């Protein structure tokens, strides 16, 4: 009797192979997500849960410990040391990360607008303010720390060219509508 191959191993000619998104271990190291205009954003991933997934994407709920520090130009810190004075947020944060080669996104709650914002990322052409979200995306989806990836390198990782946008959505799962 012939052994049957699991369907997950079957790849038809011309079909795209399933995307692989490496999830980091938690809690993660305290990581600088970006520094801009005298302020740095810091994050430590404390929990990651898969909300929904398919062979080509994964929506992950990420709980974070977040904070900020200040610095004098041009001496922004590149990594955490105990000498960096971080003002930590009082409550843990929750973001949703859509790991997708077609439509990568970071969904976050905007407390001023009182709504969810889906930061749809054009990873190969980022504006300065988008680097923090892109760094969080790369950390959660590929376990790549800031500085270990470049916008020029994302096409080699299989990412489609896409433009950035920040639509407001009612709930985090609504970001899946942008995969179409």
pLDDT of residue 19: 65
The count of other CB atoms within 10 Å of the CB of residue 121 is: 28
- DSSP letters, 144-160, are --TTS--GGGGGGGTPP
Better pLDDT: 52 or 36:
52
Cα–Cα distance list, 144 to 12, 23, 31 (Å): 30, 10, 11
CB 90 within 8 A of CB 163: no
16 pLDDT tier (thresholds 50, 70, 90): very low
Domain ranges of the chain: 29-179
| pLDDT tens per residue across span 115-167 | 999 999 999 888 877 888 999 999 999 999 998 999 889 999 999 888 899 99
> What does the radius of gyration of the chain's CA atoms come to, in whole angstroms?
18
């Amino acid at each position: 009797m012939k052994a049957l191959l699991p369907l997950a191993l079957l790849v038809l000619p011309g079909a795209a192979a399933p995307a692989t998104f490496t999830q980091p271990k938690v809690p993660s190291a305290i990581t600088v997500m970006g520094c801009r205009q005298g302020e740095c954003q810091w994050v430590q991933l404390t929990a990651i849960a898969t909300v929904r997934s398919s062979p080509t994407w994964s929506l992950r709920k990420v709980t974070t410990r977040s904070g900020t520090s200040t610095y004098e130009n041009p001496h922004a810190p590149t990594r955490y040391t105990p000498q960096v004075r971080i003002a930590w947020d009082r409550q843990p944060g929750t973001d949703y990360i859509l790991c997708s080669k077609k439509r990568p996104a970071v969904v976050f709650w905007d407390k001023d607008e009182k709504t969810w914002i889906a930061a749809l990322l054009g990873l190969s052409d980022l504006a300065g303010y988008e680097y923090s979200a892109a760094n969080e995306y790369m950390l959660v989806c590929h376990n790549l720390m800031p500085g270990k990836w470049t916008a020029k390198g994302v096409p080699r990782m299989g990412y489609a060219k896409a433009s950035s946008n920040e639509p407001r959505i009612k709930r985090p799962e609504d970001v899946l509508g942008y995969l179409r």
